[in-house]
Homo-oligomer: A and B are copies of this chain.
Amino acid sequence: MTIAPIQLDTYKLGFIGAGKMAESIARGVVQSGVLHPSRISTAHSNPVRRSAFESFGVKVFSQNQQVVEDSDVVIFSVKPQVVKDVVLQLQPLLSKKKLLVSVAAGVKLKDLQTWAGSERFVRVMPNTPAAVGEAATVMSLGGAATEADGELISKLFGSVGKIWKADEKLFDAITGLSGSGPAYVYIAIEALADGGVAAGLPRELALGLASQTVLGAASMVCQSGKHPGQLKDEVASPGGTTIAGIHELEKDGFRGLLINAVVAAAKRSREFSN
């Protein structure tokens, strides 16, 4: 049985769960011109959430059922604890003509597909910087999701950052790295600012320089196509200030602490799955 492709020019997108992640994705999709807001809908009873979406042209229904009926692509963006009940409740309306997507952390395709009675599911793991259009996102295609379905999802999530495709069995490791990673960077930025203050800078300048320096360095890695080790070599001049700083990091195992963090977070994610 051939799966009917989603019509790219006319498909409608619905969000089940009108929280921060849904808002970030919807805003990104509209701002980048991928979809006109009239093609997007969600549902919420809370007037604050309603107006958050209505303010940029998204339609807000009263009930999730109306969103599903109106949509060809349905993104489940409710909290992981409630996604099972929500999908089961909507199951009668989830025909195989619809492409279903879940962004619920830790919820497996096998279960989503059972609850929905449909294997045309794509599991997507974005991270919180979707809010500023710089997410690191990974997707995994379910049993009946097509290549074209994957490209459609790629385009949607590409409007809030970068997206990769991977086997679902890698999702615990991905959680440990891109899911939890932003927190490690927030700590690093605060510590760099503290270092600046220790060296004599006023706090506001130290924090501004710290965050912009991390942003710039990450941009260099993302855009230059060079290995980070090579970029490091290029800026560490003989006997200079940079290699003096690097020496402090290396002698006390800075790299190992970050490896430990990713591994521990991935391990905790696996424990949740069991």
- Residues of chain A whose beta carbon lies under 8 Å from any beta carbon of chain B: 127-129, 131-136, 138, 161-162, 164, 166, 170, 172-196, 198-201, 205-224, 227-229, 231-232, 234-236, 240-242, 244-250, 252-269, 272
A265 and B241 form a contact (CB under 8 A): yes
Task: Find the residue from A228, A231, A234, A266 having the highest chain B CB count within 10 A.
Answer: A228
Contact B209 A178 (CB under 8 A): yes
* Alpha-carbon gap, A269 to B196, bound state (A): 13
> Cβ of A235 and Cβ of B192 under 8 Å apart?
no
How many Å lie between the Cα of A68 and that of B134 in the bound state?
42
Residues of B within 8 A of A261 (CB): 195, 245-246, 248-249
Indicate if the CB atoms of B213 and A215 lie closer than 8 Å.
no
Does B218 contact A178, Cβ atoms closer than 8 Å?
A: no
Q: Which residue of B lies closest to A250 (CB)?
A: B187
**Cα distance A65–B245 in the bound complex, in angstroms:** 39
Which of chain B's residues have a CB closer than 8 A to the CB of A185? 188, 213-214, 217-218
Q: In the bound complex, what is the Cα–Cα distance between A17 and B254 (angstroms)?
A: 37
On whether A166 and B205 interact (CB within 8 A), knowing A172-B199, A177-B195, the answer reads yes
Query: What 18 new A-B contacts, CB under 8 Å, besides A182-B231, A190-B227, A241-B268?
Result: A127-B213, A131-B224, A132-B216, A132-B224, A134-B212, A134-B220, A136-B208, A161-B216, A173-B199, A173-B201, A176-B195, A180-B235, A187-B249, A195-B260, A241-B272, A244-B267, A245-B268, A254-B254
